[in-house]
Structure 1
Amino acid sequence: MAEGETGGADVPGDEPTPPAEPYDPEPGPEGGLEGAPDDEELPLTEHIEEMFSRLLRVLLVMAVVSGVVFPFAEQIINFLWYSYLQPASAEACAQGVSAARSSACPRVYHPLGLILARLKVATLAGFVVALPVLVYESYLFMRPGLYSHERRYYLASVPTSLVLAVVGLLFAHILVLPAIFTYFLFYSEGAAEIAFSLGQTFELMVLMLGFFAFIFQIPLFIMLAIMMGVTSRRWLADRRLYFWAGFATVAFIFNPDPTGMAPFIVTATMIVLFEGTLALLYWTGDGSLEPTLENATAARPYVWATTGLVGYVLSSLPMPGSYYDAIPTVVVDVIDGVGLLGYLPALVALVIIAIFEGTLLTLKGRATRRSYQTLLRLRRARIPLWITAVAIGYFANPRPPLVQAADSIALPAPTVAAGVLAVLAAYELGLALWRWRRAEY
């Protein structure tokens, strides 16, 4: 018997294993998964050089747009200033008509105040235009390593980024900044006469507009990350409190408003955008564009509650007022003494949250069955309680501007009730038709 031969039946394990066919990510004639044909390994220095070159292109676009806008910056400053500070007007400020109007007029306390304000508004315009350019350049940077469907997602995000930036600007211009400056005009009434510095006040305006242009990109970033498989809705939802804390930290650190009103609104907006995107992803199934009947049915309590809340805000029913006057004077004096009176709404919310989280830690240290069951119930109530704490803290404002804005709408109660019932009826009818069609097919 020759060497290497075996007697008896053949042993399958002794058969030579044919070499495995190499995996080809390119699509075959029948289609299939398309790979990243341009993906290749490059030295780190080349990646860094390309990244900086693309970043320079973004900065160049921003500089060019800023240079184009700069000659018209003074007109934009006047438009923005007198849009938010309604008691004043350009003519009244020029003539010094009355103290009430002059309190809202701009004052220059720095030799370069006007020039710096013009630079800020020009930079804001360049920043908004550069946002989609930044998204596109980042796409070109990562394009060699992206699959075809990922490239489509990324390219679609370029115009979406510009649209979201414009929506953020309009949101800040129409709702947020008028409410903030209305609060500024009257929160110190009776104690001091407020005067607005052109430099610092316009810095707040520009920063808020830029902030909202950027934070309205949150839905785009989340959707893009999930569609490309970087993360999942469940992962984000499980860590939502960390994101909330991060939003609050960013808003309070990088905002020049000393009263705490502006960062409070920025934080609330970021949380609403984050949670709204997660709710949309839950509705559509983690990136699928087709909602499911199960998700639509499970959203019934939220639809009913949100519709009722919106109807209540739009109606002429009395809104809850501020409880600022009910806070003990000693507490107010202590907070004012340490310079945190402007942050009173945030402090109230933090105290409520701290008490709740302290209760959770106390129960966690007890190893009884009853305390464990209570701990589980409280953990399920954590998100609603945090939201309630923020709402309670907001009403610590002496004059909550959003409440005043809601009072100015005051639609007739029958009209609002009819609208709420129509929305809920349409929702329930849609669910019924959906069930019927699915049963038919």
Structure 2
Amino acid sequence: MSSSFQKPDHDELAGTEQPFVAHLMELRDRLVRALIAVVVCFGALCIYPGPGPMYDLLAAPLVAHLPAGTTMIATNVIAPFFVPIKITMLAGFMLALPVVLYQAWAFVAPGLYSHEKRLVMPLVLSSTLLFFAGVAFCYFFVFGQVFQFIQSFAPKSITAAPDIEAYLGFVMNMFIAFGAAFEVPVVVVVLARMGIVSVEKLREWRGYFIVVAFIIAAVITPPDIVSQLALAIPMCLLYELGLLAAGYFIRSTTPPPEDQSSSEPR
């Protein structure tokens, strides 16, 4: 008597294990290369200029507005060692960011259509440059204005001596806030190109975005009008830039008729 449970002649999962493992191995290799790039940049910055000068460079906008003879303090015993190391690690990651993003791009590129590849690479480059632009704008312009504004309100009976760990946290929050805020054009382009929101609708929402931009600036920046305006106004201008760029990207990345027909389900 034959059994009612017979082994199927063909295993529908046969042959799928190796491609999945190959993808995992490629992902591992990409992550290792990205990590090596970060470690190399970190090591190079440790050699020159060194963790100490890196922190001095980061603290320069604040020190320039402190009273004469005043320096920053460390309330934690190991803070003078770990805080400069953390800053050097962050700088190493930012220096290696193009390599990290390239590895991510190289991993996903084989699964994209040709018209999608024309969209991804410009977005990767523009998002990197915009993030760096936001960080540079915060460091070279916003910090000086904010610290000058704060010190102008400080009573003469108070001697400001900021803690280096508190300053590091403040700087990281500001860098992330301005770096992310400068990504507004990329977000607008992606939303329009994916068909989530049309460019015409985004233009109609311009007034709402201005209100949202000022609300975001009031929440994530210090409670001073200088930093809030310095974040909200660039966000509004970058929103307009995103509207202009969205139309160009939609035209240049629309798939040709043969690609559209090949991507339709059969």
Report the TM range for the smaller structure's normalisation: 0.5 to 0.7
Runs (4+) of structure 1 exceeding 6 A deviation are 41-48
Task: Classify 1:206/1:223 alpha carbon distance in 2 versus 1 (closer, same or farther; 3 Å).
Answer: same
Q: May I ask how many residue pairs the two structures share in their alignment?
A: 233
Partner of 1:252: 219
Equivalent-residue separation in structure 1 for 2:215 and 2:111 (angstroms): 34
Shift of 1:224: 4.8
2:94 is matched with which residue: 111, 128, 131? 128
Shift of 1:138: 3.6
1:102 is matched with which residue: 59, 63, 69? 69
User: Is 1:195 the counterpart of 2:173 in the alignment?
Assistant: no
Task: Classify 1:183/1:206 alpha carbon distance in 2 versus 1 (closer, same or farther; 3 Å).
Answer: same
- The alignment partner of 2:75 has SS state of coil
| Structure-to-structure mapping, 1:421-440, within 5 angstroms | none
Runs of 5+ consecutive residues of structure 2 not aligned to the other structure = 1-15, 253-266
Shift of 1:228: 5.8
Task: Classify 1:260/1:134 alpha carbon distance in 2 versus 1 (closer, same or farther; 3 Å).
Answer: farther
User: Is 1:67 the counterpart of 2:43 in the alignment?
Assistant: yes
User: Is 1:170 the counterpart of 2:136 in the alignment?
Assistant: yes
Equivalent-residue separation in structure 2 for 1:242 and 1:219 (angstroms): 13
1:113-148 Cα distance to aligned partner (Å, 9 max, x none): 222321232133133234434443343343233221
Name the aligned partner's letter for residue 121 of structure 1: I
- The alignment partner of 1:101 has SS state of coil
Task: Classify 1:215/1:62 alpha carbon distance in 2 versus 1 (closer, same or farther; 3 Å).
Answer: farther
- The alignment partner of 1:222 has SS state of helix
Name the aligned partner's letter for residue 43 of structure 2: G
Q: Is residue 69–residue 122 contact of structure 1 (8 Å, CA) maintained in 2? A: yes
Equivalent-residue separation in structure 1 for 2:119 and 2:166 (angstroms): 40
| Structure-to-structure mapping, 1:209-228, within 5 angstroms | 209-224=175-190, 226-227=192-193
User: Is 1:82 the counterpart of 2:82 in the alignment?
Assistant: no
Equivalent-residue separation in structure 2 for 1:269 and 1:66 (angstroms): 34
Equivalent-residue separation in structure 1 for 2:18 and 2:240 (angstroms): 41
Name the aligned partner's letter for residue 163 of structure 2: S
Higher relative contact order structure (alpha carbons within 8 Å, sequence separation ≥ 6): 2
Equivalent-residue separation in structure 2 for 1:114 and 1:239 (angstroms): 48
Q: Answer with 243-252 or 195-204: which moved more.
A: 243-252
- The alignment partner of 2:158 has SS state of coil
Q: TM-score, normalised by structure 2?
A: 0.65
| Structure-to-structure mapping, 1:146-185, within 5 angstroms | 146-185=112-151
User: Is 1:271 the counterpart of 2:238 in the alignment?
Assistant: no
Q: Is residue 248–residue 263 contact of structure 1 (8 Å, CA) maintained in 2? A: no
Partner of 1:186: 152
1:356-400 Cα distance to aligned partner (Å, 9 max, x none): xxxxxxxxxxxxxxxxxxxxxxxxxxxxxxxxxxxxxxxxxxxxx
Task: Classify 1:46/1:136 alpha carbon distance in 2 versus 1 (closer, same or farther; 3 Å).
Answer: same
Shift of 1:200: 0.9
Task: Classify 1:46/1:234 alpha carbon distance in 2 versus 1 (closer, same or farther; 3 Å).
Answer: farther
- The alignment partner of 1:196 has SS state of coil
Shift of 1:198: 1.5
Equivalent-residue separation in structure 1 for 2:213 and 2:27 (angstroms): 27
Q: Answer with 194-203 or 236-245: which moved more.
A: 236-245
Shift of 1:64: 3.5
| Structure-to-structure mapping, 1:2-401, within 5 angstroms | 49=24, 53=28, 54=30, 57-71=33-47, 72-87=50-65, 100-103=67-70, 105-190=71-156, 192-224=158-190, 226-227=192-193, 231-237=197-203, 241=208, 245=212, 248=215, 252=219, 257=222, 259=223, 264-265=228-229, 267-268=231-232, 271-281=235-245, 287-288=250-251
Q: Answer with 58-67 or 148-157: which moved more.
A: 58-67
- The alignment partner of 1:62 has SS state of helix
Shift of 1:190: 4.5
The structure with more radius of gyration: 1
Equivalent-residue separation in structure 1 for 2:163 and 2:42 (angstroms): 23
- The alignment partner of 1:102 has SS state of coil
Runs of 5+ consecutive residues of structure 1 not aligned to the other structure = 1-40, 89-99, 290-441
